Structure 1
Amino acid sequence: MQQFKRRLPFWVVVLVVMTLAIGASVGTTALLIRHDTVEAGRKSTQQQILRVAKSTARLATVKRVITQSNQGSTENLQAYVKRLNRHEQTDFIVVLNRRTIRLSHPNSDEVGKPFSSSKDPQPALQGHTHYSQKAGVLGPEYRVFYPVRNDRGTVIGVVCVGITQRNLDDQLRRQTKPILVGGIIGLIVGAFLALGLSLYLRYLLLGMTPREIAEKTTRQALIDDSLPEGIIAINQRGQILAANQAAERLFRTSLPTGMTLSPYLQALLFTPSAGTTSGGEVDYQEKQLLVTINQLTVRHRHIGQVALIRDMSEIAGLVDKLSGTEHYISSLRAQTHEFMNQLQVINGLLELEEYPRALSFIQQITQTYHQEVGHVSDHIKWPAMVGLILGKSKEAKEQRVTLLVDEASAVPQVTMTNDVEILVLRIVSNLLDNALSACQSVADGTVTLTLQTTADAQRLTIVVTDNGSGIAPEVRQQMFQQGYSTKGSHRGYGMGLITAAVRTLSGTLTVQDCDPHGTKMTVMVNLTAGGTQDEDTHH
């Protein structure tokens, strides 16, 4: 049965159910009307035969013949009653004397004979009107027995008036035929209406069943919530049609279906300048968002828009982490190549028996390695961070700036989530970039990096000091605003990314001047942070 139901299309099920419902309704109504019609017909028949019986019992001729019959006369009412019966349109009028001898009957052979059922006339002979439904000479009959009284009120006979069951059935068929025809017409009309409704539902539901719609909706919601990108769909009135969990996390607010999206987010995400089908970038609370807008169209009718939102700051963090790893690999490759060259030099000096010069060359190599690589890898047990520092050291050399790692730096092997690692690398990378940029305008530019963790390795302190040009007072007031830069257009995202990352890691950011010039930036972050709070910035 379950497999049979699954094979039936939804619109067929609706058609069958609606047709059965309409059929049951029409059938019940027809039965009730037929019952009322039968009841009304029965009462009408009772009234008709009773009226004929009363009028017949009052006739003087009937009373006279019955009186004479009771006295032994053989006179009957056959001819007289036949004319009366044709006039009253009843099946039979039978007149009985007190001995229940028939004085009239539709069948002349029965005249003068006793009534077929001696018990039926007895109530009438006692002065009572009596109805009976039994099989008589003419077959099943419905009849009434009415007493005939003389002028003194004495019961002298009985008048029996009736209609055969066959005629009653004919009358019932004539009366119920319109009901049957009306019911059939109603059923046909209802079936066509049910067919139209089922086809309309099929059109509205895109040919799917409610179960398929429920499964698809649930499956789509699970898929949407598993996406890292935020999704917000609105109708033409700005009401939310759908929003996934990533969008709620991104904007830190609940986005229930049916709620009107705030005017700020509508202007940010759904204005033509915010994004197109090819993508566009917007700024939201120190974050870079890539917004892609598509139109929602159903059956060539525009119903709204959907925005796909990607957090570019996460992508930037992944790029930073990848960049640090690439720098680390590149540095190792360069060191390997350089080490091979140095081995060849040492080999040549040994073959020439220049032992003092070979020893001096080895000591020089050891000192250089310790200064450039050994110290970093010995004190910082964080491969991605080491790679980032080595890469920035290479950039610093190219910019003729010295990048030093403070002797006090110490970072043990720390367990942290991937998101936290990305944010910390982003902070260090952008701080070093800003410091290197500030030192390009001075001679002997030097940038010093200090990394230290607390004893429980729960918090990390990052200190970047440079002897560059410093930060002007008017710049400090605006440097934390997203997009503000003194380097031209399409810049000014570094400090915004730093402050956003510090906030996410529940940290603090302090900016100080160095004597005689330069800047010192100190950042303290929680390596186990999961919440957010505003950062403290001191100038």
Structure 2
Amino acid sequence: MKDNKWISKLSLKKLTILLVLISVLASLVSSALFLHYYITDREREVLTEEIRNITRVVAKDTRVINGLTEPSSDSDIQRYASQIVEDTDLSFVVVLDNDLIRYSHPDEDYIGKQFSNTEDASKALNGKEHFSRNVGILGEGTRFFTPILNEDGEQIGVVCAGIIQENVNQELWDAQKRLYFGLSIGLCVGLIGAIYLAQQLKNILLGLEPREIVANIMERDIIIDSVNEGIIAVTPEGKVLLSNKNFIKLMKLAEFSGDSIGGGELDPDIFEVFFKKVFESGQPVLNQVIVVNQFEFIVNISQVYIKDSVYGAVATLRDQSEMQQLIRELSGTEQYIDSLRAQNHKFMNQLHTILGLIELRKYEDVTRFIQILDADYHREIGFVTEKIKCAAIAGFLLGKVSELKEQGVHLQIDPDCLFADMKMGEMLHDLLLSIGVLIDNAKEAVIDSKNKQVNFFLRYNEDENVIIIEVQDTGVGISEELMDLIFERGFSTKGGSRGYGLDAVRSIVKQYNGIVDLQSIVDVGTVFRLEVPYDRKGRGQE
């Protein structure tokens, strides 16, 4: 506790700035470390890739190849190598023949002499490229060796190009300077943001420090608890903003059955009695008598506004039971009031009973019913997935069951269904399309019927290698004159831009050399049966 005394002495503004700065600084430092290593690795990758690409370009240049083939033109190699060094970030480009004799070098005194590290350069004489990091004449550096081949594909030399470590370090530092500059800007922005945030918090809290706010709240509670009247303030949603002990005492005297301000929420019945009318009408209640369980209050209620918007309402309550009792007896209205109170009491008891059951969580019947529904639902899912192993079809059918159920139609899946898994492909897509059309048509056929049921059957007959799909409805049926027309494109008994579903089904079945069978009895129902040949083994379960 002693270690934290200095924190408690800080003002809210200083404490906010300090916390924000610590957060920003920690974030920037962690980001800087990450970016530092990232930039370092990235720069090294870029430099090595640049060295490799330039070295390969030099090795394929005709001036280099001709210079090695015709030694009299070696000065062209030196000029070309010097130009490459001047135009790029490389520190050196050295061309060697097969005897590792230099044809170019940043220091011309070394031209015509053998390469300093013959062991390293010799590795490229076998036609293979390689990187190396060694100390050479110009100092420590990274270099890349690549063979030089003539037009016949024979190796006639080696190109060695690279950059000294001093230049590498300079490149890395140049890249990191931009990073540190950006982080410095971020720190400055964080400082400005911290100062701005601290000032805004100060303004929101009306310039008060946290300890001052706590003191004011304690003083407020002492003052409102010393008032003889009951005080309660709530939001339009019933959240308690303020209350005193006398309000709770008055609710107990009125023998109110609920928890008046439990969990920071005003009891819905109390809210309705005192505040509902005020929030609905927007008019204050002044010195009005309100009776709660034969206990009378003189109530004043007014809305509270913040920036022209309703923030809540505050009510003050006074006990006026004895005075009002005497007035009622003298005025001869007791009998009438008792009658009204009896009706009100009966109604309130009914509400309290319902509310009590809910508050006491007596949901046994509801819970049991939900559990039964849940069990039925899971049994249905288990049945479908057990019988139909193809996930796409099973999921599609379960979706259709829910869809039809919402529309008051029962989709019954035959317990004799049996269908193996099938890989996603054109045929599975065609099957889903056909099933969807048949079920949707059956649904529309029964939507106006008394018995709204659609039966579905799907089975793969392994003996005959045929898929059987059957959809039966209890609709109005199809007359004989329409039996031959319903498969024609554009024909529909529903009218409009319809009549394409069954045509598509017939085309699909015909494509697989299957058959479509239709049986219908007017006012009884219709059965569509599809038989589609399918060699599951021959297609590898496609």
Q: TM-score, normalised by structure 1?
A: 0.47
| Greater Rg over alpha carbons, structure | 1
